[in-house]
């Protein structure tokens, strides 16, 4: 059976590239080493609890790249998302609540503020007829690609300015700096002393492109009904419908190069499969060094890829509770101040700092009741960790559990069991260091400096949260857009 293209890995980048190629009439084979599809966007089941490998919230949702990837293989409109309506951020004794009606800050944070979002919106609407308002927003969103293009050279000037240096100029209040730190960390998976402020700007503009008139902005953020695995499973079922094949438990050990071009792959059992196009979602560093071999690349290029910094890894705690203990959909918690000092110690010294770590959590069963048996609750917690840590991981496990017990009333009493996942879980997906997102959105490797999806080896491409010139944004959305863009390029040029 001849294939036009082989995709190595079924992460969202691989799925989106595969969907684009299959939708354009190419015969596609997707090879996934694990026994489930989706990589860092997958889930598994235990005792009726559906646990996601990644955590919290996706961006763009039914208005963004996931939907586009589904649409390309005839599966548009199938994915459904629940959007958060009850979020909370706790910075020591300060609690910030956000829901579609109201954002309120309780405690010592500049001053006690309550912003009534619903009242604010209706006041704006009463000042302007709805048609006019929708037309204005419509025009604004139509113009967004133009605005983005015009803003690109300005934004580029901030590629060398870290979020930390940028905000240090404007924010002295420590809790506000910690708030910026956790939000940007959740988005980019790198500490603020590494992330350029340009990534923040590009990401914001990217989301505005998804915005449609009349939409509640919180609709751009959500959780897929059926769990994270719904996204790769839906896309891959579309690839099969288009005549493609998807195999799980198929580890590619080598990309075969002949006459300087990629011509096929070899699996662990020795099976050789040929195709003129190989799209690797297996991590750019691993593809160059392990699957292809550096000898097939110019030494300068191979060295550059070898030196890419990957984002930070993480630990996750998935907790099964025998009853519902919280109404929140998601939560950030910074129990001790100076988060950036904490991340410096973790990242630079590879030690787990003393004291409770910052955690982000999501409650999948509040957004999709099928995530837990009736009457029970599933909570996912995630925090930063490094794979080459000098101390045993159980130090952070204990510290995180003590944070959780303090901020989630009833947690200890109602906990049935929990699973503690370490960077090794993410390393098993193929990438050294087990980054939560992919290559770091760091100074020196964003914007034009991100490695291109087109490799110097003819017929070989990379996709995912690993590459793509000018790709920016948040994990799953960025990986999917990279796959779509790379797929378009291949279709137009082959």
Ligand X SMILES: Cc1cc2nc3c(=O)[nH]c(=O)nc-3n(C[C@H](O)[C@H](O)[C@H](O)COP(=O)(O)OP(=O)(O)OC[C@H]3O[C@@H](n4cnc5c(N)ncnc54)[C@H](O)[C@@H]3O)c2cc1C
Which residues here bind ligand X, judged by CB under 6 A? 8-14, 31-34, 39-41, 54-59, 251-252, 281-282, 314, 316, 382, 426, 429-430, 436-438, 464-466, 474-477, 479
Which residue, 105 or 384, is less far from ligand X as judged by CB?
384
Take residue 260 and report the two structure tokens written for it.
């300087």
Which residue, 161 or 427, is less far from ligand X as judged by CB?
427
CA distances in angstroms from 145 to 137, 151, 185, 201, 209, listed in the order given: 14, 10, 26, 14, 7
Tell me the residue nearest to ligand X as measured from the CB: 11
CB of 432 to ligand X, least distance (A): 11
Which residue, 438 or 459, is less far from ligand X as judged by CB?
438
CB of 318 to ligand X, least distance (A): 10
End-to-end CA distance of the chain: 20
DSSP single-letter state for residue 411: H
CB of 488 to ligand X, least distance (A): 16
Which residue, 26 or 318, is less far from ligand X as judged by CB?
318
DSSP single-letter state for residue 309: P
Which residue, 50 or 175, is less far from ligand X as judged by CB?
50
CB of 347 to ligand X, least distance (A): 17
Which residue, 367 or 479, is less far from ligand X as judged by CB?
479
Which residue, 105 or 439, is less far from ligand X as judged by CB?
439
Which residue, 402 or 425, is less far from ligand X as judged by CB?
425
Q: State how beta strands 277-280 and 5-8 pair.
A: parallel
Task: Count CA atoms closer than 13 A to 56's CA, side-chain side.
Answer: 24
CB of 370 to ligand X, least distance (A): 19
CA distances in angstroms from 71 to 380, 382, 476, listed in the order given: 30, 31, 17
CB of 294 to ligand X, least distance (A): 17
CB of 326 to ligand X, least distance (A): 18
CB of 106 to ligand X, least distance (A): 26
Which residue, 415 or 474, is less far from ligand X as judged by CB?
474
For residue 130, the tally of other CB atoms under 10 A from its CB is: 11
CB of 31 to ligand X, least distance (A): 5
CB of 423 to ligand X, least distance (A): 9
Task: Count CA atoms closer than 13 A to 72's CA, side-chain side.
Answer: 29
Contacts of residue 332, defined as CB under 8 A and 6 or more positions apart, other chains included, come to 88, 89, 90, 182, 183, 186, 358, 359, 360
* Beta bridge partner(s), residue 191: none
Contacts of residue 453, defined as CB under 8 A and 6 or more positions apart, other chains included, come to 461, 462, 463, 467, 468, 469, 482, 485, 486, 489
* Beta bridge partner(s), residue 379: 319
CA–CA gap between residue 267 and residue 250 (Å, rounded): 7
CA–CA gap between residue 159 and residue 196 (Å, rounded): 5
Q: Residue 23: in which H helix or E strand, if any?
A: helix 12-23
Q: Are 367 and 82 in contact (CB under 8 A)?
A: yes
CA–CA gap between residue 480 and residue 94 (Å, rounded): 36
Which residue, 23 or 229, is less far from ligand X as judged by CB?
229
DSSP output for 310-378? BPPEEEEEEEEESS-----SEEEEE-SS-HHHHHHIIIII----SSPPPEEEE-HHHH-GGGSSTT-EE
CB of 113 to ligand X, least distance (A): 27
* Beta bridge partner(s), residue 6: 29, 278
Which residue, 356 or 430, is less far from ligand X as judged by CB?
430
């Amino acid at each position: 059976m001849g294939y036009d293209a082989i995709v190595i890995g079924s992460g969202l980048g691989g799925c989106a590239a595969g969907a684009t190629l299959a939708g354009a009439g190419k015969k596609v084979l997707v090879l996934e080493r694990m026994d489930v599809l989706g990589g860092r966007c997958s889930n598994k089941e235990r005792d009726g609890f559906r646990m996601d490998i990644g955590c919290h919230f996706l961006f763009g949702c039914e208005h963004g790249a996931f939907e586009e990837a589904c649409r390309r293989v005839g599966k548009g409109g199938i994915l459904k998302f629940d959007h958060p309506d009850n979020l909370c951020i706790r910075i020591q004794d300060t609690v910030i609540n956000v829901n579609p009606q109201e954002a309120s800050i309780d405690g010592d944070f500049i001053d006690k503020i309550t912003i009534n979002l619903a009242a604010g919106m209706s006041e704006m609407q009463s000042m302007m007829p709805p048609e006019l308002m929708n037309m204005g927003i419509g025009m604004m969103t139509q113009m967004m690609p133009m605005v983005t293009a015009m803003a690109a050279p300005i934004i580029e000037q901030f590629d060398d300015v870290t979020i930390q240096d940028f905000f240090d100029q404007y924010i002295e209040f420590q809790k506000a700096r910690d708030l910026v730190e956790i939000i940007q960390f959740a988005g980019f998976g790198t500490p603020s002393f590494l992330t350029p402020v340009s990534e923040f700007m590009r990401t914001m503009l990217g989301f505005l492109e998804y915005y449609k008139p009349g939409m509640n902005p919180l609709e751009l953020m959500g959780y897929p009904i059926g769990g994270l695995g719904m996204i790769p499973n839906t896309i891959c079922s579309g690839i099969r419908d288009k005549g493609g094949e998807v195999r799980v438990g198929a580890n590619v050990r080598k990309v075969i190069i002949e006459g300087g071009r990629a011509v096929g792959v070899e699996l662990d059992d020795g099976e050789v499969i040929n195709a003129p196009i190989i799209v690797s979602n297996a991590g750019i560093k691993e593809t160059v060094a392990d699957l292809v071999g550096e000898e097939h690349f110019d030494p300068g290029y191979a060295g550059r890829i070898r030196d890419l910094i990957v984002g930070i890894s993480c630990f996750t705690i998935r907790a099964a509770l025998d009853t519902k203990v919280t109404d929140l959909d998601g939560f950030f918690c910074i129990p001790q101040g100076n988060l950036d000092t904490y991340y410096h110690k973790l990242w630079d010294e590879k030690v787990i700092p003393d004291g409770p770590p910052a955690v982000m959590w999501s409650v999948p069963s509040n957004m999709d009741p099928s995530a837990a048996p009736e009457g029970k609750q599933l909570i996912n917690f995630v925090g930063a960790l490094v794979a080459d840590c000098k101390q045993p991981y159980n130090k952070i496990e204990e510290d995180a559990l003590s944070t959780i017990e303090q901020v989630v009333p009833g947690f200890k009493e109602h906990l049935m069991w929990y699973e503690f996942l370490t960077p090794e879980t993410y390393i098993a997906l193929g990438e050294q260091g087990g980054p939560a997102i992919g290559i770091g959105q760091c100074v020196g490797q964003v914007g034009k400096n991100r490695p291109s999806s087109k490799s110097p080896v003819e017929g070989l491409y990379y996709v995912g949260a690993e590459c793509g010139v000018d790709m920016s944004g948040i994990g799953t959305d960025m990986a999917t857009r990279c796959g779509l863009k790379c797929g378009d390029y291949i279709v137009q040029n082959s």
